[in-house]
Amino acid sequence: MTTLYSNAWVVTMDDERTEHERGWLLIEDGFVSDVGGGDEPAADEHVDLRGAIVTPGLVNTHHHLYQTLTRARAQQADLFTWLRELYPVWARVDAEAEYAAARTGIAELALSGCTTVFDHHYVFPRGRTGLVEAEVQAAREVGVRIVASRGSMDLGESDGGLPPDELVEDLDAVLAETERLAGELHEPERGPRVQIAVAPCSPFSVTRKLMEESAALARRLGLPLHTHLAETVEEEGYCRELYGCTPVEYLEQLGWLAEDVWCAHCVHLAPDEIRRFGETGTGVAHCPTSNLRLGAGIAPVRDLVAAGVRVGLGVDGSASNERGDLFLEVKQALLVARGRSGPDAMTARGALALGTRGGAAVLRRDDLGSLEPGKCADFAVWRVDGLELGGAVDLVAALVLTAPHRVDRLVVGGEEIVRDGHLVRADEDEIARKHRREARRFAA
Ligand SMILES: [Zn+2]
């Protein structure tokens, strides 16, 4: 069965950054079989996109889906104050709340053009089970791909860590749970829908031993590794006091600067640390809105890209970026790069590349991020006949500069999961209603 999507401005994001202004895309069995402009190939089914833009599906590289339950709290706090206020509230999370939260966060992402969702879950109150499974179920229902992580915290307040003791876990239990989830959920075949990553939370909530053992486990099982790093100046002070070095130096000591690792934020990096990221192949999840919301600073993205670092975009959790819209983050990345480094710091297409190819590279998914033969048929269709794009000639640049947008269609593995701006496999109103019911338990 082949499907031809035609009459579109196709942004392939291939190595040459080829665009077909009057292009088409041929899909077969969930994968791209051909893409081009001009003469159209024959197909079993034909979809006329009426001049819309087609981009690869966006790839989100950092999120905490459960945080949709606690938006707009600690509104003027820095990271550590914000965390201390929210940890006890997050301790109420269970599988039902997680499922409602994940459906909401995933639906928001899908409606912003995101086809692959990474989630960093690290709050596991004792005795609550099924949290990661709930996220995976939500992703399967909405229809996106998910890379779910088994996060962890084992450095509680009484040992000099930031989280309350009731929220930290035993190291052996963390590792055993991670291995169990990987065995049950991680798909090794081509074009996987569900993968598992290993993701201890941060230098200020995880012991050195758990960081090291998490890396050993991930490398034994062939899973990617993720953590938060160098988000705020306070974190750097904390690391210097506890470990006598910067967060990046600490990570290097742990064997965590490597090509199977990506780190969220990386706002506060010295020039030689940026170079070390490039040399070691360590990736970065850039979360510009969250960094602005918490007043953390602006990551040196132009320098990171120039140093050859793999950089993707993340919305981050909805308690520090209340709007989980990944296409908006593409525009935000452009704006903050220019705010920090001047008007030539990033082009509109460069920003779009971070949200698509960059994200795929960060997750080490060479089957995603571009529209080329053999890649997964994951793409977003954007209407260009609305009010906001009037007067634009370069519609691709205009799409980025006028964000946010609700995606018109979203296709994952050849299947449409958004059509006419609405979820196909789930009901947005029902998701919102059930989410509000669960969120009540987190209100006070
Ligand atoms: Zn985060």
Return d(Cα 91, Cα 123) in angstroms, integer: 7
265 CA to centre of ligand 1 in angstroms: 8
- Contact between 421 and 404 (Cβ < 8 Å): no
Distance 264 CA to ligand 1 centre (A): 7
Answer yes or no: are the C-beta atoms of 200 and 145 closer than 8 Å: no
59-89 in b/e burial notation, b at 16+ Cβ within 10 A?
bbbbbbbbbbbbbebbeebebbebbeebbeb
Burial class (CB in 10 A: 0-12, 13-18, 19+), 444: exposed
d(C-alpha 399, C-alpha 332), whole Å: 13
Q: What spacing in Å lies between the alpha carbon of 238 and ligand 1's midpoint?
A: 18
Other CB atoms within 10 Å distance of the CB of residue 429? 7
Q: Are 83 and 140 in contact (CB under 8 A)?
A: no
| pLDDT score recorded for residue 444 | 75
131-142 and 171-185 are packed helices; what angle lies between their axes, rounded to 10 degrees?
Answer: 30
- For residue 344, give both structure tokens: 């030539």
> What's this model's pTM, rounded to 2 decimal places?
0.98
- HEC string of the chain equals CEEEEEEEEEECCCCCCCEEEEEEEEEECCEEEEEEECCCCCCCEEEEEEEEEEEECEEECCCCHHHHHHCCCCCCCCHHHHHHHHHHHHCCCCHHHHHHHHHHHHHHHHHCCEEEEEEEECCCCCCCCCHHHHHHHHHHHHCCEEEEEEEECCCCHHHCCCCCHHHCCCHHHHHHHHHHHHHHHCCCCCCCCEEEEEEECCCCCCCHHHHHHHHHHHHHHCCCEEEEECCCHHHHHHHHHHHCCCHHHHHHHCCCCCCCEEEEECCCCCHHHHHHHHHHCCEEEECHHHHHHCCCCCCCHHHHHHCCCCEEECCCCCCCCCCCCHHHHHHHHHHHHHHHHCCCCCCHHHHHHHHHHHHHHHCCCCCCCCCCCCCECCEEEECCCCHHHCCCCCHHHHHHHCCCCCCCEEEECCEEEEECCEECCCCHHHHHHHHHHHHHHHCC
CA 337–ligand 1 middle distance (angstroms): 20
C-alpha to C-alpha distance for 385 and 368, rounded to whole angstroms = 28
Ligand 1 centroid distance, CA of 123 (Å)? 12
Contacts of 244 (CB under 8 A, 6+ apart): none
**Ligand 1 center from residue 200 Cα (angstroms):** 11
How many whole angstroms from 63 Cα to the centroid of ligand 1? Answer: 6
Q: What's residue 406's pLDDT?
A: 98
What is each CA distance from 181 to 130, 167, 357, in whole angstroms?
10, 20, 27
Residue 205 half-sphere exposure toward CB, CA atoms < 13 A:
24
CA separation for the pair 211, 202 (Å, rounded): 9
Alpha-carbon distance 228 to 120, whole Å? Answer: 10
Question: How many angstroms is it from 29 CA to the middle of ligand 1?
Answer: 35
Cα 7 to Cα 26: distance, rounded to the nearest angstrom: 12
**Residue 55 CA to ligand 1 centre (angstroms):** 26
Distance 317 CA to ligand 1 centre (A): 6
C-alpha dihedral over 434, 136, 333, 162, to 10 degrees? 90
275 CA to centre of ligand 1 in angstroms: 23
What tens-digit pLDDT sequence spans the chain (444 residues)? 999 999 999 999 999 999 999 999 999 999 999 999 999 999 999 999 999 999 999 999 999 999 999 999 999 999 999 999 999 999 999 999 999 999 999 999 999 999 999 999 999 999 999 999 999 999 999 999 999 999 999 999 999 999 999 999 999 999 999 999 999 999 988 899 999 999 999 989 999 999 999 999 999 999 999 999 999 999 999 999 999 999 999 999 999 999 999 999 999 999 999 999 999 999 999 999 999 999 999 999 999 999 999 999 999 999 999 999 999 999 999 999 999 999 999 999 999 999 999 999 999 999 999 999 999 999 999 999 999 999 999 999 999 999 999 999 999 999 999 999 999 999 999 999 999 999 999 997
Cα(39) to ligand 1 centroid in Å equals 46
The residues facing 285 across adjacent strands are 264, 312
Instruction: Give one word for 311, left, alpha or beta, with left for phi > 0 and alpha for psi -120 to 50.
Output: beta
Beta bridge partners of 53: 9, 382
Residue whose C-alpha is closest to residue 12's, from 361, 308, 357, 326: 357
Q: How far is 168 from 155, CA to CA, in rounded Å? A: 6
Strands 58-60 and 114-121: parallel
